[in-house]
Structure 1
Amino acid sequence: MTYEEFRKPLTAVYEAGEAKAIARMVMEVRFGLSMTDIICGKTGDEGEMLTLRQRLLTGEPVQYVLGQADFGGRTFHVEPGVLIPRPETYELCEWSLPPTPSKWKGHILDIGTGSGCIACTLAAEIPHAEVTAWDVSDDALRIAAENAKRANVHVSFEKVDILNSPLLYREGLGVGLDIIVSNPPYICNKERAEMERNVLEHEPSLALFVPDDDPLLFYRAIARFAQQALDTDGSLYFEINPLYVDEMKQMLYNEGFTHTEVRNDQFNKQRFTKSWR
């Protein structure tokens, strides 16, 4: 099967440019073929190409089909049990880096780690930091641990439910943290109609959605925990829903964070907050 034979049917599901990019990604990642190879007529295994194309035609994201996603220049294993890392989340990682990452030795907690992309990235870029990552999903913790091994970094993964208050406040859990960073679920159910089919049908709802009547559910729980877990000069970093920036700032203030800075992402949306006392 040629590149064109693989690509053309994809245009029934994807925009022409996206279909082209997906086809090239499959050729490069799965079959090791460069654009020069494609032009010269080289192809991959036809049976496998048919199987991959059929999965893509159902709307399954190419990252799940290939089992990997790029994030900040690193490759992470992904499966349907975790969200596909987004480029804007890497901006959150960059913002949370201390001034001299190579010398910094503090303790970082990533809450809701998913694929482990935030925790592994920070562990790699701040080599002397102590990095801990929490998630409630066994699948996520398994995948994240695999990604830490692949990246050759040490992260302590723990199964913790941030909404389980009695567990959170047991003695010694998360005390003395310098940085807490989180990209928790923040999409309201009412926003489903505006979302892409491949996200709705394939990425885990547990990691995406919050109730319409409580969009700050996870943020509030994390902020309350952060109040007692962070050191005096510690910072709390969030990726947020731009629809609720004002509510976020007020909630963080109510929870004791007297300073909150909001930063835009690469698409000029108010996407991140940094809070401190």
Structure 2
Amino acid sequence: MTYDDLWRPLAAIYGSGEARAIVRYVLEERFGLSVADIYCGKVTQLSPDDQRLMGEMMERLLRSEPVQYVLGHADFCGRAFSVGPGVLIPRPETEDLCLWVEQGLAARGCASPALLDIGTGSGCIAVTLALDVAGAAVSAWDVSADALQVASGNAGRLGARVGFALVDALDPPAHTAMWDAVVSNPPYVRLGERAAMARNVLDYEPAGALFVPDADPLLFYRAIARYAKAALRPGGELYFEINEALAGEMRSLLLAEGFATAEVRNDRYGRPRFTKSTLE
């Protein structure tokens, strides 16, 4: 079993560059081989047990299972978050959303802020804010009990204090002036966009956390914006990750719902992927 033996079959799925990167990532993360080790041929020196394990992992990868599920974790903001079927895999660009929230709180001089993450999934946003924002009191909601179990496990393992609750974003409780910031990365992929998506997403990641009807793709944003309008404290901010194809519609929705501002920001790849809104 050589490095070339491992990545070449994956190239039919991912292309040669990504296939090489996936195999390197597995060898580094699971078997402790450095890039230099890999290119010096030390893959051939794996023990029989490790070779057997690598073979099992390759079988999963060849079925287009995401490498993060195969390894059992995903990196986010410098931390390893446990993931598996039932929760979305944290994306690198969502780190930019967390940074924007942190910057907004710092600019406001918000001490010991009360923060809410709606649709927490793996808990990556809530846990990151709890660990990175001094004195923050963070709560997180999800409609999936399985997701909350994963998120709670991540919070406990990483030492973050987060209050988790089973709440449907489309039917939130009636709260008034509770939060200094509300942040959400809700479902936003239109069903009509499925055809352009890769198998490793479609076949494994939870559809309920991904897709919205073509006829009403902003339904989660509308519900959360209406909740946040009442639940934010004076000066509070609402942050969203959004579908880049709907940035204009998102800005119009937020203004129509009574927010005084609706700023759109690009992610690290130059795509309009986030909004920040404030009340008067």
Tell me which residue corresponds to 2:113.
106
Q: Out of 192, 210, 213, which is 1:211 matched to?
A: 213
Q: Describe the superposition over 1:199-232 as per-residue Cα deviations: whole angstroms up to 9, x where unpaired.
A: 1111110100000000101000000000110011
Matched, 1:142 2:149: yes
Tell me if the contact between 1:82 and 1:203 (Cα under 8 Å) persists in the aligned partners: yes
Tell me if the contact between 2:74 and 2:82 (Cα under 8 Å) persists in the aligned partners: yes
Which residue identity lines up with residue 27 of structure 2 in the other structure?
M
Matched, 1:79 2:81: no
Tell me which residue corresponds to 1:18.
18
Q: Describe the superposition over 1:116-137 as per-residue Cα deviations: whole angstroms up to 9, x where unpaired.
A: 0000010110131000000000
Q: Distance in 1 between matches of 2:107 and 2:254?
A: 27
Matched, 1:43 2:46: yes
Tell me if the contact between 1:88 and 1:265 (Cα under 8 Å) persists in the aligned partners: yes
- Aligned alpha-carbon RMSD (Å): 1.6
Q: Distance in 2 between matches of 1:17 and 1:113?
A: 32
Q: Distance in 1 between matches of 2:147 and 2:122?
A: 6
Instruction: Name the CA shift for 1:253/1:205 in 2 (closer, same or farther; >3 Å).
Output: same
Which residue identity lines up with residue 43 of structure 1 in the other structure?
L
Tell me if the contact between 1:6 and 1:49 (Cα under 8 Å) persists in the aligned partners: no
Aligned pair count reads 272
Greater than 3 Å deviation, 4+ residue runs: 100-103
Unaligned runs of 5+ in 1: none
Tell me if the contact between 1:111 and 1:184 (Cα under 8 Å) persists in the aligned partners: yes
TM-score, length of structure 1 as denominator length: 0.94
Tell me which residue corresponds to 2:186.
184
Which residue identity lines up with residue 115 of structure 2 in the other structure?
I
Q: Percent identity?
A: 54
Unaligned runs of 5+ in 2: none
- SS, match of residue 99 in structure 1: helix
Does 244-253 or 71-80 show the bigger shift?
244-253
Q: Distance in 1 between matches of 2:130 and 2:35?
A: 34
Tell me which residue corresponds to 1:27.
27
Post-superposition offset of 1:100:
6.8
Post-superposition offset of 1:151:
1.4
Which residue identity lines up with residue 68 of structure 1 in the other structure?
H
Which residue identity lines up with residue 32 of structure 1 in the other structure?
G
Tell me if the contact between 2:61 and 2:70 (Cα under 8 Å) persists in the aligned partners: yes
Q: Describe the superposition over 1:161-219 as per-residue Cα deviations: whole angstroms up to 9, x where unpaired.
A: 01125xx12xxx47420000000000100011111111111111010000000010100
Q: Distance in 1 between matches of 2:110 and 2:133?
A: 8
Which residue identity lines up with residue 58 of structure 2 in the other structure?
R
Tell me if the contact between 1:102 and 1:128 (Cα under 8 Å) persists in the aligned partners: no
Tell me if the contact between 2:130 and 2:138 (Cα under 8 Å) persists in the aligned partners: yes
